[in-house]
């Protein structure tokens, strides 16, 4: 789903904009790196595998996924994506998802994005619960979620196929303050 108001990003290195089909080559380039894909459930065989995602991101259905481009403030190069999968307007829930190129790892970008997008989802979209599923081997992402006040809620055995094999995932969630 294309949103009218983008979340603000306070990190000095990156900003957010709408993800467009022209981003596919840069997105695929870093998603194809073994260090990136090893702790995710992406199963891309070619750049063409990303095209169906763009169809969903461009849909007007409120339950459509939302994916935003993470770009360098200087030069505008795509270095990541962030957004929501499994959006449920009825239940006011969504699953956060993000990926970053290794060139910007270890600079606080992921934590900044997860915090900003989670706050925006709760304030602008009215979400009450934002959850994340993370492969149990993805220690970097686990640390990001915990830094961003996501609580570990459970262990999902054989939850999702990861390149043809059952993968175990941790379930994390952040709940909106209703006060």
- Is residue 20 a part of any domain in this protein? yes
Instruction: Name the residue range of residue 118's domain.
Output: 14-175
- Is residue 47 a part of any domain in this protein? yes
Mean pLDDT of 102-111: 97
Taking a C-beta distance cutoff of 8 angstroms, is the pair 103, 51 a contact?
no
Q: How confident is the model at residue 179 (pLDDT cuts 50, 70, 90)?
A: very low
State the angle between helix axes of 109-123 and 139-147 in degrees (0 to 180), rounded to the nearest 10: 50
Q: Give the tens place of pLDDT for each residue, 20-55.
A: 999 999 999 999 999 998 888 888 889 999 988 999
- Is residue 149 a part of any domain in this protein? yes
Q: Give the tens place of pLDDT for each residue, 55-98.
A: 999 998 999 999 999 999 999 999 999 999 999 999 999 999 99
- Is residue 83 a part of any domain in this protein? yes
Strands (E), the chain: 14-18, 66-72, 78-88, 93-100, 129-135, 151-162, 165-175
- 1 pLDDT above the threshold of 80: no
Mean pLDDT of 149-177: 96
| Residue percentage of the chain with pLDDT more than 70 | 99
- Is residue 8 a part of any domain in this protein? no
What domain count does the chain have? 1
Question: 56: domain CATH number?
Answer: 3.40.630.30
């Amino acid at each position: 789903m294309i949103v009218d108001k983008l979340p603000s990003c306070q990190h000095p290195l990156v900003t957010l904009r709408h993800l467009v089909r022209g981003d596919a080559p840069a997105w695929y380039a870093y998603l194809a790196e073994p260090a990136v894909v090893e702790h995710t459930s992406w199963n891309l065989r070619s750049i063409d595998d990303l095209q169906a995602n763009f169809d969903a991101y461009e849909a007007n259905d409120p339950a459509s996924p939302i994916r935003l481009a993470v770009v360098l403030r200087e030069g505008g190069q795509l270095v990541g994506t962030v957004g929501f999968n499994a959006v449920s307007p009825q239940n006011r829930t969504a699953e956060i998802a993000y990926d970053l190129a290794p060139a910007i790892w270890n600079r606080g970008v992921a934590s900044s994005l997860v915090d900003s997008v989670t706050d925006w989802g709760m304030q602008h979209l009215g979400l009450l619960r934002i959850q994340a599923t993370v492969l149990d081997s993805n220690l970097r992402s686990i640390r990001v979620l915990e830094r961003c006040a996501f609580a570990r809620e459970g262990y999902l055995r054989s939850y999702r196929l990861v390149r043809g094999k059952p993968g175990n995932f941790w379930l994390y969630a952040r709940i909106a303050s209703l006060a």
